[in-house]
Amino acid sequence: MNTGTIKKNQKIKITGAGGYLGNLISEEFVKAGYKVSGINRNLLYGDSDLLKNELKGADAIINLAGAPILQRWTNKNKGTIYTSRITTTQKLVKAIHLLLPHQRPKKVISASAIGIYKTGEYHDENSNRFDSGFVGKVVLDWENALEELPENIQKNVFRIGLVLGKKAKTIQYLLLPFKLGLGATIGNGKQAFPFIHEKDVAKAFLWAAEKYQTTATFNLTAPKEITNKEFTKAFAKSLNRPAFLFIPGLIFRLLYGDAAKLITESPAVSSKKLLESGFHFKYPDIDSALKQITS
């Protein structure tokens, strides 16, 4: 396996560089001294030879392409959600195969999601109790597409939890009602709330490029696990506001249809493997994460 360490000034190519996580991760690599450039979206749907030329000389590729999944799952939207992840990843892998061995990247580091897991249960990376619905299929097929990479390329996959941060849409949606004292627990609040701070997401991708030298899949969630009710209480406390309300899951089902399960149901997820592999979280618990976000 080609596990050479990625060094400063080397070239990083990113799919989905213009998205929320793409911007964060690009900034992290630029600050660390890397030459970062995005891969044009059209190349991911176009001719493989053109994409091959774009990838030539990259030392690492970061794969983040994917349409937002929290939207009504109409047939059209489901198609977009699926192809924006699986088709683009398949095209990326094909283009890498077209490169001569010495032209290929040392590493491919890809986003995935904890949505691969069955909700209401506890999972580490060895779990094969996968979600049997739409989300589970999308994430599983996404990861399977990466299995076709040449064997000598290091592959790291991060199953990312709910991302929190100053720029995160989740926080932007919730900030005003919580500031007004209208913060609310969803349903009975007992469902897991597997979060990760945005800075730890960017930090983890940089760590995989610089430090980690073996193919592996990791759950990328904060090690201190909480429930939705505990998040609601902590967020309200960080803003010095009360939060006594409850929102029935039915409200979200009316708004989002089947996609509401992304809000009302979650798997409980362990990040022990990532910790044991040497990664250090900057925000390992909800209080430290929210302190940074609301400061």
pLDDT at residue number 42: 95
Answer whether CATH 3.40.50.720 is correct for domain 11-164+195-223+268-282.
yes
Confidence check: pLDDT of 140 > 70: yes
Q: Provide the angle, in degrees to the nearest 10, between the axes of the packed helices 75-83 and 86-98.
A: 30
> Tell me, what amino acid is at 1?
M
> For position 82, what pLDDT does the model report?
98
How high is the pLDDT of residue 179?
Answer: 96
Q: Which of the residue ranges 1-15, 182-196, 211-225 would you say has the lowest mean pLDDT?
A: 1-15
| Confidence (pLDDT) at 2 | 46
Q: What are the pLDDT digits (tens) for 1-24?
A: 445 567 777 999 999 999 999 999
pLDDT of residue 21: 98
Q: Please tell me the predicted confidence (pLDDT) of residue 206.
A: 98
pTM over 0.75? The answer is yes
Question: Could you give the CA distance from residue 75 to residue 56 in angstroms, rounded to a whole number?
Answer: 36
**Segment 88-91 long-range contacts (CB within 8 Å, at least 24 positions apart):** 88/15, 88/44, 88/45, 88/63, 89/63, 89/65, 89/142, 89/145, 89/146, 90/145, 90/148, 91/44, 91/45, 91/48, 91/51
Q: What percent of the chain has pLDDT above 90?
A: 97
pLDDT digits (tens, 9 = 90+) for 221-271: 999 999 999 999 999 999 999 999 999 999 999 999 999 999 999 999 999
What's the rounded Cα separation, in Å, for the pair 288 and 293? Answer: 9
Residue-averaged pLDDT of the chain? 96
Give, in order, the Cα–Cα distances in Å from 3 to each of 107, 123, 161, 223, 282: 7, 28, 26, 27, 26
pLDDT of residue 5: 65
Mean pLDDT on 56-79: 97
Report the half-sphere exposure of 91 (CA within 13 A, side-chain side): 24
Q: How far apart are CA 35 and CA 122, in angstroms?
A: 39
**pLDDT (average), residues 182-202:** 97
User: What is the four-CA torsion angle of 185, 186, 190, 193, rounded to 10 degrees?
Assistant: -90
pLDDT confidence of 109, banded at 50, 70, 90?
very high
